[in-house]
Amino acid sequence: MLNFPNLNPNSIDSDRVKPRIRVTQLGDGYVQREADGLNTIQHFFTVAFVGLSEVNKDLLINFVQARAGIEPFLWYHPGEKRHYQMVCSEWQSTFEYPAWKVGLRFEEDFNPV
């Protein structure tokens, strides 16, 4: 599995966690909740890289485009000091003179590779 390029983000805007559960209505207002599958806690990150050269912007964009939201990669979260297996589902680059800004949306991936 490939590693994400070794560039530290300027910000990690959110770590949104969404548990996946099944809810069964039982009547009289009662419900039964249970985990839906094995990996029910999934992380979503919005990551920003600011002040990039065109070379580093191209490095990031080419890396995520080549995987096209399908092929997972390892990303090191500098704040949590751990690796996550991710896919990049959305990205954008903006030119803010004199440098580039790149925004990426990561979704945790649990598929074996």
Q: Is residue 1 assigned to a domain?
A: no
Residue 18, pLDDT above cutoff 90: no
4 occurs within a structural domain? no
Task: Please report whether residue 113 resides in a domain.
Answer: no
DSSP 4-68: PPS---SEEEEEEEEE-EEEEEEETTEEEEEE-SS--EEEEEEEEEEEE-HHHHHHHHHHHHHHT
For the entire predicted model, the pTM comes to 0.84
Start-to-end C-alpha separation, the chain? 7
Q: What 3-state class would DSSP assign to 72?
A: coil
Q: What three-state secondary structure class fits 79?
A: coil
Task: Centre a 10 Å sphere on the Cβ of residue 47 and count the other Cβ atoms it contains.
Answer: 23
Q: Is residue 79 part of a domain?
A: yes
Q: Minimal CA–CA distance to 44: which of 74, 12, 76, 70?
A: 12
- Reported as a pLDDT band with limits 50, 70 and 90, residue 113 is confident
Distance CA 84, CA 4 (A): 10
Residue appearing with tokens 């949306």 = 105
Total domains in the chain come to 1
pLDDT in tens, 76-89: 999 889 999 999 99
Q: Which domain holds residue 81?
A: 11-108
Domain annotation covers residue 83? yes
Is 3 inside a domain boundary?
Answer: no
Quick one: DSSP state of residue 3? B
